[in-house]
A and B are shown apart, each in its own frame.
Chain A
Amino acid sequence: MKFRIYRYDPDKDAQPYMRDYDIALEPTDRMLLDALVRIKAEDDSLSLRRSCREGVCGSDAMNINGRNGLACITRLADLKEPVELRPLPGLPVIRDLIVDMSQFFKQYHSIKPYLRNDAAPPSPDKERLQSPAEREELDGLYECILCACCSTSCPSFWWNPDKFVGPAGLLAAYRFIADTRDQATSERLDDLEDPYRLFRCHSIMNCVDVCPKGLNPTRAIGKIKDLMVRRMT
């Protein structure tokens, strides 16, 4: 199977280039990551991140034939040859398919991704309980694995990665706003009411299109705006 892979080693290469590979696959090679592991066995200079190899860790996000996705859950049979692989767009390349995700995680941390609740728990040995309906509010929000497929497919994030929280961060922000155990809703909305942090989103929905977990950041962002409108009017 034919591949064209983005190669760049800042220590050796003046600029990035595309390298062609033609690799013989075994019948057990089903997913793109299987092929990449086989390429890596032949050319160990190729650098990529991968870990769980089953779509849970989010390490092997990359741009596959022009579309962001996880190599480990992308079926080889569905790919057009030559398969063109590039690092996630919009982030600085460290080497080959590895990008520097600092900016992405900085935005994630900026929304304070943890429960904020100053009230004492019902008793020291008891959890803060939720009804099944309250728990259901978190479905479609908590499943995010922070692979960065969404944020790096978003033009608003490309133009303002330092100021726009991005779809992944905003999905996480709504995950805590929607949580009945969190008491900081008002502060969270205050923090997001900003022309850059939230309102760079123009609902083009690239994030929804690429999310390998089938999540919908645009809907979460809409719900944040909805709460802000309810708060204002």
Chain B
Amino acid sequence: MVKRIVVGAHYGLRDWLVQRITAVVMAAFALLMLFIVLFHRPEHYGAWKALMSQQWMRLASLLFLLALFWHAWIGVRDVFMDYIKPAGLRLLLLVGVVLLLVAYALWSVQILWSLY
């Protein structure tokens, strides 16, 4: 059987751009955390809890986590595209990764908003 080489999916630019934007979001959050640890110095559980349960911090954390999951999706898909050659297996793994990351995102919301 002749194996046909198929390309021309006409996507990729958006993902490439998103990977860079999410990287900037994650770097900004990392700097924010560094700043908090260095200058705000929350030293015990109560201080951390008070910090993390503020609405702006919840939103910042959620943005960071969503950026992380989106970034991870693009990166993992790239790795699978390089190394997993059978298309059926690749699709199965990609679906698994999407479901896992969506579940993580929902779980993140539950964790962040359950702090009082």
**Would B13 and A190 count as touching, CB distance under 8 A?**
no
Chain A residues positioned under 8 Å from B96 (CB to CB):
none
Chain A residues positioned under 8 Å from B17 (CB to CB):
229
Q: How large is the interface on A (under 10, 10 to 19, 20 to 34, 35 or more residues)?
A: 20 to 34
Per-residue contact bits, chain A 207-233, to B (CB 8 Å; 1 contact, 0 not): 000000000000000000100110010
Find the A residue at minimum CB distance from B13.
A228
Q: How far is the CB of A49 from chain B (nearest CB, A)?
A: 27
A163 at the interface (CB under 8 A from B): yes
Q: Bound state CA distance, A12 and B93, in angstroms?
A: 43
Tell me which residues from 196 to 211 in chain A have a Cβ below 8 Å from any Cβ of chain B.
196-200, 202
B7 at the interface (CB under 8 A from A): yes
B56 at the interface (CB under 8 A from A): no
**Would A197 and B7 count as touching, CB distance under 8 A?**
yes
Q: Bound state CA distance, A91 and B83, in angstroms?
A: 18
Q: How far is the CB of A229 from chain B (nearest CB, A)?
A: 6
Per-residue contact bits, chain B 3-22, to A (CB 8 Å; 1 contact, 0 not): 00101111111111100000
B82 partner, pick from A160, A162, A197, A232, beta carbons under 8 A: A160
**Would A194 and B82 count as touching, CB distance under 8 A?**
no
B95 at the interface (CB under 8 A from A): no
What's the tally of chain B residues with a CB closer than 8 Å to chain A?
Answer: 16
Chain A residues positioned under 8 Å from B8 (CB to CB):
191, 194, 197
A193 at the interface (CB under 8 A from B): yes
**Would A194 and B9 count as touching, CB distance under 8 A?**
yes
A68 at the interface (CB under 8 A from B): no
Find the A residue at minimum CB distance from B83.
A159
Chain A residues positioned under 8 Å from B83 (CB to CB):
159
B32 at the interface (CB under 8 A from A): no
Q: How far is the CB of A226 from chain B (nearest CB, A)?
A: 11
The DSSP consensus for interface residues of chain A is loop
**Would A199 and B7 count as touching, CB distance under 8 A?**
no
Asked whether A194 and B12 contact (CB < 8 A) given A159-B82, A160-B82, the answer is: yes
B81 at the interface (CB under 8 A from A): yes
Per-residue contact bits, chain A 126-159, to B (CB 8 Å; 1 contact, 0 not): 0000000000000000000000000000001001
Chain A residues positioned under 8 Å from B16 (CB to CB):
199, 225
Pairs across A and B, CB under 8 Å, 20 listed: A156-B82, A159-B83, A162-B5, A163-B5, A190-B10, A191-B8, A193-B10, A193-B12, A194-B8, A194-B12, A195-B9, A195-B11, A195-B12, A196-B9, A196-B81, A197-B7, A198-B12, A199-B16, A225-B13, A232-B14
- A159-B83, A193-B10, A195-B81 given; 11 more Cβ-contact pairs under 8 Å: A159-B82, A160-B81, A160-B82, A191-B8, A193-B12, A195-B11, A197-B7, A198-B12, A199-B16, A200-B81, A202-B78
Query: Which residues of B does A touch, CB under 8 Å?
Result: 5, 7-17, 78, 81-83
